[in-house]
Amino acid sequence: MSFSFPQVVHPYVEQARQHRARLAADPHRPAYHFTAPANWLNDPNGLIQHDGLYHLFYQHNPHATVSATKHWGHAVSRDLAHWEDWPIALAPAPGTADQDGCFSGCIVVHNGDPTMIYTGVRVDETGRKRQRPCVAVSYDGMVTWERYAGNPVIPAPPTDMDIFAFRDHAVWREADGWYHLVGSGIRQVGGAALLYRSDDLVNWEYLNPLYVGDMHQLDPLFTGIMWECPDFFRLGDRHMLVVSVFDHVRGDTGAAFPMIHHSVYFSGDYADHCLTASYAGLVDYGRSWYAPQSFTDDQGRRIMFGWLREERAFEAQRAAGWSGAMSLPRVLTLRPNGRLGQTPVPEVELLRGVSQSWEGLTLSPGEPLVLDGAEGNTFELVAELWPAEAARVGLIARAAPDGSEATRIVYDQAEGRVTLDTSQASLDPATRRVARHAPLRIAQGEPLRLRVFVDRSIVEVFANDDVCITSRVYPTKPDSLGVALFAEGGSARLEWLERWAMRGIW
């Protein structure tokens, strides 16, 4: 079956091409992870496959590299690997409920028309920033959007709880109508995903919180005072609620600053409009992952993108002229005990170029094995390793010849965890450099399987299809390109390793 796709001819598209050409030589600018043409990008929004075309909308400030005046940027793909820019879908409109920002949301198809449910931001006369659900509809294949005249469609949050914040949306269809989650927090309680029901997407009846967190609980997961960007879907015989954790930190003066943390999933049973969770975990254990959203495509796959935020100074972002990237699209699977499994969509392999492979090598402690010919900053690497007697085994990437910069991915057998260590990734003190750990228990008779995507300032790691860790790295030296394997505390074995140069997505 063949589709005929709309061709968008618009001055914005040419302008976007010029921005991309201008920024392409930046050594930190990803080549095969999605970025905005220029300036600020954050959350993925409105993910949908419609008439065969994949749509990725995203939070975007087209005017600067800072998080302000949120628009909905828009790109499309025929294969989930290559992307084209389309004109900005939604911009704050003076005099409307979104005049100070079009925040995150989703898109569903209602009576044949793609319909966007997003958060309109408007600062009122008293200076209060009001965040309320709004609706817009497209009648031309999602190029232009008409606001619903009755926006906001929910004028205020429920009044039977002391609500803190009210934004971001997940909407899905059940037999008796549309259901809708709004991200929120209940003061002194914790994050909350508030559930509504509607027949027409514009008249909403509040039901109850689908699920509420506990802000005082730190272990095993910290879930904060408020939840942003709720996402809710069925996976196998479970339901998954994914939220991104917002909290405050107190500065030296005692003043509270907003702080975004990580994305948590709760998996369990959904009945009577409530979720009973039996497992909770982090979607990605790295430093840079936030605000994911997912959708189901026409092959029935649940596919997720997340925002990979910057870990360098605002000044460096301003000088670069761009900020923020998307993760690779990931297919979600259900793992034992309700855990969330993630693998890159197979279409990512369309980007593979020249390949090289190594096999059957022993890794001896104290003698890192440099993979000659594997160096680079834009590649994918898949390795199968047997830790054997080694206490730790791993991979080094973006390494300088003199060892002054290096990013390490380490599996520790005794701890049962994999670490993405960027603490020496850069000599630039104004970049965040941290070690982030993910629990990884490898079953008896199974090797350590690492799939690593290095894309200039992005390192995205998938371990045994079980855990993901993604962080940003900013090596300062042009020759910080080396790749090596190592073992510590005993010998390990490399079964095989394949490395592909990766092509760009534009």
**What residues have CB less than 8 Å from 404, skipping those under 6 apart?**
424, 427, 477
- What torsion do the CA atoms of 160, 164, 168, 169 make, to the nearest 10 degrees? -20
DSSP 404-435: SS-EEEEEETTTTEEEEE-TTS-S-TTB---E
Angle at CA of residue 134, ends 133 and 138, nearest 5°: 145
Among 104, 138, 342, 422, binds ligand DQQ (CB under 6 A): 104
3-state per-residue secondary structure call for 190-253: EEEEEEEEECCCCCCEEEEEEEECCCCCCCCCCCCCEEEEEEEEEECCEEEEEEEEEEEEECCC
494 binding ligand DQQ? (CB under 6 A): no
List binders of ligand DQQ among 343-362 (CB under 6 A).
none
Residue 42, both tokens: 């954050």
> 42 or 377: whose CB is closer to ligand DQQ?
42
**Which of 43, 231, 412, 466 is the catalytic position?**
43
> 98 or 421: whose CB is closer to ligand DQQ?
98
103 binding ligand DQQ? (CB under 6 A): yes
Question: Mask 289-328, x = binds ligand DQQ (CB under 6 A)?
Answer: -xx-------------------------------------
Closest to 46 (Cα-Cα) out of 124, 125, 135, 130: 135
Among 84, 85, 98, 168, binds ligand DQQ (CB under 6 A): 168
**Could you tell me the smallest distance in angstroms from the CB atom of residue 104 to ligand DQQ?**
4
229 binding ligand DQQ? (CB under 6 A): yes
List binders of ligand DQQ among 119-138 (CB under 6 A).
119
Looking at residue 161, the DSSP 8-state letter turns out to be: S
Closest to 227 (Cα-Cα) out of 274, 186, 195, 283: 186
85 binding ligand DQQ? (CB under 6 A): no
- Which residue is at the shortest CB distance from ligand DQQ? 103
Residue 140 falls in the annotated catalytic set: no
59 binding ligand DQQ? (CB under 6 A): yes
Q: Is residue 173 classed exposed, middle or buried when 0-12, 13-18 and 19+ CB atoms within 10 A define those classes?
A: exposed
100 binding ligand DQQ? (CB under 6 A): no
List binders of ligand DQQ among 252-291 (CB under 6 A).
290-291
Q: How many residues bind ligand DQQ (CB under 6 A)?
A: 13
Binding site for ligand DQQ (CB under 6 A): 42-43, 59, 70, 103-104, 119, 167-168, 228-229, 290-291
Catalytic sites, residue numbers: 43
